Amino acid sequence: MNAVDVMQPGVVYLVGAGPGDPGLITVRGLRLLQQAEVVLHDRLVSPLLLAETRAGCEIIDVGKSPGGHAPAQEEIIQLLIRQARAGRKVLRLKGGDPYIFGRGGEEALALAAARIPFVLVPGVTSATAVPALAGIPLTHQHLSRSLAVVTGRTRPRSYPVPENGAQAEDPLAHLDFTALAAIDTVVVLMGVAHLAAFARRLQEAGRAPDTPVAIIENGTTPAERIVCGRLAEIARRAADADIRPPATVVIGKVVALHSVLHPAIPPSTPSFISSPDGD
């Protein structure tokens, strides 16, 4: 076992839980989870992962949901700092990868500023795993030689207004649609709420209305649903199907491969997770 796999008191471990299926957490992430004295977890972390914690572990839900009550980011950071200064083995369990639209970078910077040692354990991001397990390779020699991953949601005024004249309160103001229209494959995380505006502006920037699009709700889990369509109609199709977060949107020619490559066996959640040591 690598030395980093053994938790140290007073250290915060920023661990990616993976895209939804608890079996997709990394070996190192699971080993650390099983040692933690306190776990602060996001909303979408599987209960089966939390069941892997040791007896007596304090489990704190700090998850955020659209429109729901949740601790402010600063509260989460201060809680991490307090727990570490108390000499506990602290694990911050974040959906996907901590550094991909998970605000893990903000937490790491705050820990560094507070002189709290931390260890990052990358996770499998939903941006790649969800499409892959839905039969959509994000790159392909003949269909896609470029890839962009963006968030479809951000706080108003949290980004400078682009020179194209978009309004500061526009939740998509952080995106350069002219640049995105030229990218072969675009993956949008947290994009359900503003899907219609996103699709419209991408077309206005030059993307063909008949570009294939897939929306994958609850990817890699038994609750997975997939809606496919064309860019011009995908928002209506998603609304008709009542697609809700979490959902991953994939835009590009590679989506057409879904009908051929989608696995015959649907996603399944194991009833338990075996120890990495085989116990």
User: What b/e sequence results for 130-150 when a residue is b if at least 16 CB atoms lie within 10 Å of its CB, and e otherwise?
Assistant: bbbbbbbebeeeebbeebbbb
For 133-154, write each residue's pLDDT tens digit: 999 999 999 999 999 999 997 7
Q: Active-site residue numbers? A: 42, 64, 190
Q: What CATH code would you report for 127-261?
A: 3.30.950.10
**Annotated domain spans of the chain:** 7-124, 127-261
For 68-92, write each residue's pLDDT tens digit: 567 899 999 999 999 999 999 999 9
CA angle 234, 128, 172 (to 5 degrees): 50
Q: How many Cα atoms are found within 13 Å in the side-chain-facing hemisphere of 132? A: 9
* Torsion angle defined by CA atoms of residues 72, 75, 77 and 82, in that order, rounded to the nearest 10 degrees: -170
In tens digits, what is the pLDDT along the chain, a chain of 279 residues?
687 889 999 999 999 999 999 999 999 999 999 999 999 999 999 999 999 999 999 999 998 665 556 789 999 999 999 999 999 999 999 999 999 999 999 999 999 999 999 999 999 999 999 999 999 999 999 999 999 999 997 765 444 545 555 544 688 988 999 999 999 999 999 999 999 999 999 999 999 999 999 999 999 999 999 999 999 999 999 999 999 999 999 999 999 999 999 877 666 655 555 444 444
Give the DSSP letter string of 187-219: EEES-STTHHHHHHHHHHTT--TT-EEEEEETT
Best CA proximity match to 132, nearest among 193, 198, 185: 185
Identical fold between 7-124 and 127-261: no
Q: What CATH code would you report for 7-124?
A: 3.40.1010.10
